[in-house]
Amino acid sequence: MKHLYLLFLLATSITFAQIPSNYYDSADGLTGFELKTELKSIITNGHNDQGYGGLYTGYATVYVDNMEESGYENDGSLLMYYTENPNGPDPYSFFLGTNQCGNYNSENDCYNREHIVPQSSFGSASPMKNDIFHVVPSDGYANGKRSSHPFGTVDSATWTSLNGSKLGSSNVPGYSGTVFEPIDEFKGDIARAILYFVTRYENGVDGYTSFDMFNGTENQALENWAVDMLLDWHYNVDPVDQRERDRNDAAYDFQGNANPFVDHPEYANMIWNPTPDTEAPTNPTNLVASNPTDNSIALSWTASTDNIGVVSYDVYMDGTFSSNTTNTTATIAGLSPETEYCFTVKAKDAANNTSGFSNQDCETTTDNGTIGSDCLTETFENLETNIGSYSDVTWTGDDGGIWNATEARTDQTLNNAAITIRDGALTLPTTSGGIGSLTVTTKRVFSGGDGTFDVNVNGTFVGTIAYGVDEQTITIPNINIENNVSVVFDNNSGAGNRVMFDDLSYTCYSELSIEDFDIDSVKLFPNPVKNNLTVDLKSNVDTNIEIFDILGKRVLKNTISKTSTLNLQALNKGIYIVKITQGNSKITRKLVKQ
């Protein structure tokens, strides 16, 4: 393994030459297929065919996961579209120079070279056979499953790889055959490889009609359904990122030419969709505001449609812009108790065309008191999500407070946006309502092990937040510090582990009276509970029972006067807070639902 380790060290120290700033100058002012032909000339000049065997040399810099900024393992393994898991450990890995195919009977046997545009379409001729922009490393078995099928979106899968790539029947409008669908993380990479191919080999692509994505012409080159899908993958599903720009620079060093659709993503529309997009999306419909808590309201709506594709939605609260989301749901936090709020939504497309407003829907927050209500909530949706290297990050949180993170990045997602911290600290804004219990969702990304972060309130250690390879929601109950509080997460027990934090909240401090109500007199059993929870009051006094989830939403309310059984079968698994009120006395208990 020593020679592989040295190769890894060499690879991480390479600085790639930048593609010349005037590389595309001759294409300035051109559009349509005239632009495509000029780009063909640019990327043909300087193209140095390194041969089929030379691809393995190129893979050492172009397709090796050797930069932390790549967002993956940073372990020197080969970066492969049907193997890489961008949200956790890879199901398996290959290292350059070992496990080359060979025979294979299943995934993880060996790797070989995958032609994004099948060799059979161009008769295995060079330089197409050897072009590193569309010939990529691949698990041999997955490569065989893909075969020469076109790419598309799968309706019903007949085979699924260990990272989620699928083979099956097409649900792409305009094509009804069998297709191969990569995971979203690499759909743009594959789209840009195909756009490169039909541009670089424009003079011969009209003869490569055995590949179902090609239409037998030199100019458009692609079937209409393929154009629509590839532009969607290129612009909306998986836009160009820094990882791909770095790979483009490395390929330029190796092969002497570049992929113009990585350097200039706008070229794709200028060639295949030259008429500017002026069509606005349809208005969102069926907006519903629901699930109010003391300080949050959930929204959902029906997606808009667009001639090119909707990219995001602007959410308005009481007529004023509130937030932007790529989903058709949102949770608006930081609201006041017992207050009505009215919401509308607009859709936006890639050309920044904006729809009209959706229907308006209003909802009133609850006023359930400090138990179960949040003094602070944070979804991390206000983060700029393009920071792929570790640095100090400062942003304004959901409630308007200033958050700070050190040794942090923002390009990894958990439920939605998240902050990822390595060996730094997360400092929450100071709040004035004290702190009762704290809840946060965590997950380790990339390689590493399980560990914890310390939680400190006003400089005093109060507990730890665990993390591991699986997503988990952690609650530290009964912190119970009043007045102003400043909370800090630090002291990562697993040095170098990279940990995502999302959906963070803590309840306000509440001084609970037990003068008239002995906490030991109330029994909740079993706890953890699966279905039926018994509440033993040891009295016949009318008593209110309320159960809240970890986000403060009340999920059950009942009044009892003696020992009773509550059916909790409908509740999801997780941690809940039980609030018991008898006269002026209140107590809370943590409840675990299995």
* Tens-place pLDDT, residues 120-150: 999 999 999 999 999 999 999 999 999 999 9
Question: Final residue of a domain: which of 464, 485, 507?
Answer: 507
Q: What percent of the chain has pLDDT over 90?
A: 52
Please list, residue by residue across 555-570, b when 16 or more beta carbons sit within 10 angstroms of its beta carbon and e when fewer do.
ebeeebeeeeebebee
Express as a percent the part of the chain with pLDDT over 70: 90
In a domain, 424, yes or no: yes
Better-predicted residue by pLDDT, 128 or 477: 128
Domain count within the chain: 4
Q: Can you spell out the DSSP letters for 396-422?
A: E-TTS-EEEEEEEE---BSSSB-EEES
The band of 71, judged by pLDDT with boundaries at 50, 70 and 90, is low
* pLDDT > 90? residue 406: yes
SS3 for 266-301 is HHHHHHHCCCCCCCCCCCCEEEEEECCCCCEEEEEE
Do 266 and 401 fall within a single domain? no
Do 491 and 554 belong to one domain?
no
Domain boundary among 244, 272, 300: 272
Same domain, 203 and 298: no
Choice among 21-25, 192-196, 317-321, 375-379 with the minimum mean pLDDT = 375-379
Instruction: Tell which residue, 238, 250, 263, 258, has the closest CA to residue 84.
Output: 238
Domain containing residue 562: CATH number: 2.60.40.3080
Query: What average pLDDT score do residues 443-448 get?
Result: 88
310 pLDDT band (50/70/90 cuts)? confident
pLDDT tens sequence across 530-581: 888 888 776 677 788 888 775 556 788 888 877 788 888 888 887 777 777 7
Residue type, 493: S
Tokens 């018991």, located at residue: 580
In a domain? residue 179: no
Query: Is the per-residue pLDDT at 13 higher than 60?
Result: no
- CA 115 from centroid of its chain's CA atoms: 28
Q: Is 513 among the domain residues?
A: no
| pLDDT at res. 388 | 79
Q: What are phi and psi of 101, to 5 degrees?
A: -70, 145
At residue 369, the pLDDT reads: 46
Q: Are residues 255 and 120 part of one domain?
A: yes
Q: Is 278 contained in some domain?
A: no
Is the same domain home to 501 and 538?
A: no
d(CA 439, CA 457): 14
Domain co-membership, 381 together with 431:
yes
Between the two ends of the chain, the Cα-to-Cα distance in Å is: 46
User: What is the pLDDT at residue 387?
Assistant: 86
Is 94 a domain residue? yes
1-5 mean pLDDT: 26
Whether residue 254 is predicted with pLDDT greater than 50 in this model: the reply is yes
Average the pLDDT over 469-490 and give the result.
88
Same domain, 244 and 355: no
Name the maximum alpha-carbon separation found in the chain. 90
Reply yes or no: is the peptide bond before residue 526 cis, omega within 30 of 0.
Answer: yes
Q: How far is residue 327's CA from residue 84's CA, in Å, rounded to a whole number?
A: 24
Rounded to an integer, the average pLDDT of 453-482 is 88
294 within some domain: yes
CB 453 within 8 A of CB 524: no
Whether 358 is in a domain gets the answer yes
Of 349-353, 357-361, 420-424, give the lowest mean pLDDT range. Answer: 349-353
From 367, 391, 414, the end of a domain falls on 367
- Residues facing 402 on adjacent strands: 396
Residue 52 or 12, more confident: 52
Range of the domain at 237: 2-20+29-148+185-272
What pLDDT does 1 receive?
22
Strand order in the sheet with 554-560: 554-560, 543-549, 574-582, 585-593
**Count of residues making up the chain:** 594
Q: Which of 33-42, 450-459, 468-477 is least confident?
A: 468-477
Same domain, 103 and 216: yes
Question: H/E element holding 593?
Answer: strand 585-593
pLDDT averaged over the chain? 86
Q: 428: domain CATH number? A: 2.60.120.260
89: left (phi over 0), alpha (psi -120 to 50) or beta: beta
Domain co-membership, 104 together with 53 = yes
480 compared with 104, residue with greater pLDDT:
104
Same domain as 295, residue 352:
yes
Quick one: 248 and 294 in the same domain? no
**Is 98 within a domain?**
yes
What CATH number is associated with residue 360? 2.60.40.10
**Residue range 202-242, pLDDT digits in tens:** 999 999 999 999 999 999 999 999 999 999 999 989 999 88
Q: 0.75 cut: is pTM over it?
A: no
| Whether residue 194 is found in the same domain as residue 304 | no
Q: How confident is the model at residue 11 (pLDDT cuts 50, 70, 90)?
A: very low
In this prediction, residue 534 carries a pLDDT of 83
> What local confidence, expressed as pLDDT, does residue 182 receive?
97
Taking residues 398-420, report their average pLDDT.
88
